[in-house]
Structure 1
Amino acid sequence: MVKTNGLLIAGIVLLSLIATLTGILSDAGPGPHTYTSIRGEEVMIYGQGIYRHMSEELAPQGIAQDFVTLFLGIPLLLLSFFKARKGSLKGLYLLTGTLGYFLVTYLFYLAMGTYSKLFLVYAALLGMSFFAFVQSLLSFEVERLPTRFKKETPVKMAGIFLIVNTLGISLLWLSVVVPPLLDGSIYPEGLDHFTTLIVQGFDLGLLLPLAFVSGWLFLKRRPLGFLGAPVYLVFLSILMTALVAKVIAIMMGGASAGPAIVIIPLFLVFSVVSVMLLIKGIKQD
């Protein structure tokens, strides 16, 4: 039985509506201007809306993700919640993975977004998403999960994909971080006026290890693998959709997306296909 509190879901929906619509519709501000960072780097600032103090390259990415959260994340959260409340294991997997997306999204917004009037909204969303996510995880009967899947379910394919995803994104981020350390310049391009690399730090220290462990345990057909891998893949499918939207925003702004223009859409396709096959492999709810 799903243990996720309906009030938490309602709160997440309401506050994420406020956050996303504000991000999409707000446009007040002085407009684009340059800012000299603490490291002496000239950064072009976006200058309008709730993301007005973020760089001209990064702010449109935030708006792009707001669109994905509004039109994909929120509807999927509601649909999966009502399905899970009816005792559906498929719905519970979708709910938990979607809550993982909201948790990670507003963790990044709170840590990476420059201070704005939405600070407390982001803080509340992070807290509610975390507790709803934990409640949802506790709803699984973990030891029984391997028996809930058909024998022909492509466990090996999904597990290998998670490990490959971990290695691919790790190499992508290390290619950003390591060269400046080796040549002595220390600070990588794209650091702009931020104090550190938030996304790369959370990915390398938290999210990618979770993906690797989930994939490895899934390959070994361990109960925790049957919990972690499908949940992570649902989360990854939504996140990769947001990242594709960000890549499009980067290209529309005239900048180069680099290797991400190939890696991210490819991982999106594999993650969505993996989720569909795993959900299909669950025995009748």
Structure 2
Amino acid sequence: MKNDKTIRNLILCIAFLSIIASAIGIFSKGGPGVNEITSFRGETIKLHGIGLYKNDSVSVAAQGIAQDIVTLFVGVPLLLLALYFTGKGFLKARLLLTGTLGYFLYTYISYVFLWMYNPLFIVYVVLMSTSFFAFTLSILSIDMDRLSTSFDKKLPVKFLGGFQIFLAVALCMMWLGKIAPTIMNNRVPVGLEHYTTLVIQGLDLGFIVPIAFLSGVFLMKRRPIGYLLSSVVIMKGFTMGIAITAMIIGQYIAGVKMGLASVVIFLIFSLFVCFCMVILLKNIKEDQKIIQ
């Protein structure tokens, strides 16, 4: 199959480097411990003060450690398992592989642009780059013209498509609700702390929202690209949902105050994404011909 050797090598690189990066993020020690600084905006910020994320805020460090745990114990095993069964010619595995690569791409883009600079910066850059190329090649390895025939006609496209559209709209409204007042009132968004910009909100509004919306629309119309994008969105959402749940738990343990509405919304979305992934996988008919 076209590009499979390249994809495999990229994935092995991703797995190896992410294991190292995650383990260091979780287990690194040293530092003064939790301490306070005053940001250039005059805001008092609590820094984590320990290990790799010592210069990050308590909130972001708690999220980073939680995501490292998910990456190490869920993301990497899932990636390697999907790679193995992709080699056996399973379409489900190819779609799961592509979605999981989407998780790694999103994760390490955020590490490169959001986290405070640390000794693993170049590792994050390599992981971002390898994830991007592996993700792109994995998508290109699927024959979209034949993809739709590999899904059962009973697949509830209106439900799955409608959920993705709802997810896109809800995510858009939630983040714009956070951003719009700061623009109108010329003030800093709550939770920006000593960071320079809203990286996660930028990624979600710039990529996740439009992709989820379009994939929902195309799936409801039974377009081949709709099946592909929906598979990527839902399967990437599965691993990201686990990570977000872990982040919420991590922040709670760290004593970080969180908006109840945001927590509830993310947890509900995570459960629905898991449900959608089960439906999607159950309705895939294996056909090796769609993998080029």
TM-based fold match above 0.5: yes
Q: Distance in 2 between matches of 1:269 and 1:105?
A: 20
- Give the drift of 1:2: 6.0
2:176 to 174, 177, 189: 174
- The alignment partner of 2:58 has SS state of coil
Within the alignment, does 1:126 sit opposite 2:107 as a pair?
Answer: no
Provide the TM-score with structure 2 as the length reference: 0.94
- Give the drift of 1:260: 2.2
2:86 to 84, 87, 90: 84
Contact kept in structure 2, 1:142 and 1:223, CA below 8 Å: yes
Q: Distance in 2 between matches of 1:121 and 1:69?
A: 15
Q: Distance in 1 between matches of 2:107 and 2:123?
A: 13
Q: Which residue of 1 aligns with 2:62?
A: 60
Trace 1:88-107 onto structure 2 (pairs within 5 A).
Answer: 88-107=90-109
What do residues 214-237 of structure 1 show as CA deviations (whole Å, max 9, x unaligned)?
111111111110110011110011
Q: Which residue of 1 aligns with 2:143?
A: 141
Provide the TM-score with structure 1 as the length reference: 0.97
- Give the drift of 1:172: 1.5
Residue type matched to 1:7 in 2? Answer: N
Within the alignment, does 1:266 sit opposite 2:268 as a pair?
Answer: yes
Contact kept in structure 1, 2:212 and 2:230, CA below 8 Å: yes
Q: Unaligned 5+ residue runs, structure 2? A: 288-292
1:32 to 12, 31, 34: 34
- Give the drift of 1:186: 2.1
* RMSD after superposition: 1.2
Contact kept in structure 2, 1:24 and 1:66, CA below 8 Å: yes
Q: Which residue of 2 aligns with 1:70?
A: 72
- Give the drift of 1:23: 0.4
What do residues 127-174 of structure 1 show as CA deviations (whole Å, max 9, x unaligned)?
111111111001111011111111111221111111111111112111
Q: Unaligned 5+ residue runs, structure 1? A: none
Q: Which residue of 2 aligns with 1:218?
A: 219
Tell me which moved more, 102-111 or 260-269.
260-269
Q: Distance in 2 between matches of 1:202 and 1:95?
A: 21
- The alignment partner of 1:43 has SS state of strand
Q: Which residue of 2 aligns with 1:191?
A: 192
- Give the drift of 1:206: 1.7
- Give the drift of 1:122: 0.3
Between the aligned residues of both structures, percent identity stands at: 43
Q: Which residue of 2 aligns with 1:276?
A: 278
- The alignment partner of 2:36 has SS state of strand
Q: Distance in 2 between matches of 1:2 and 1:167?
A: 36
Q: Distance in 2 between matches of 1:49 and 1:15?
A: 18
Contact kept in structure 2, 1:68 and 1:245, CA below 8 Å: yes
- Give the drift of 1:90: 0.5
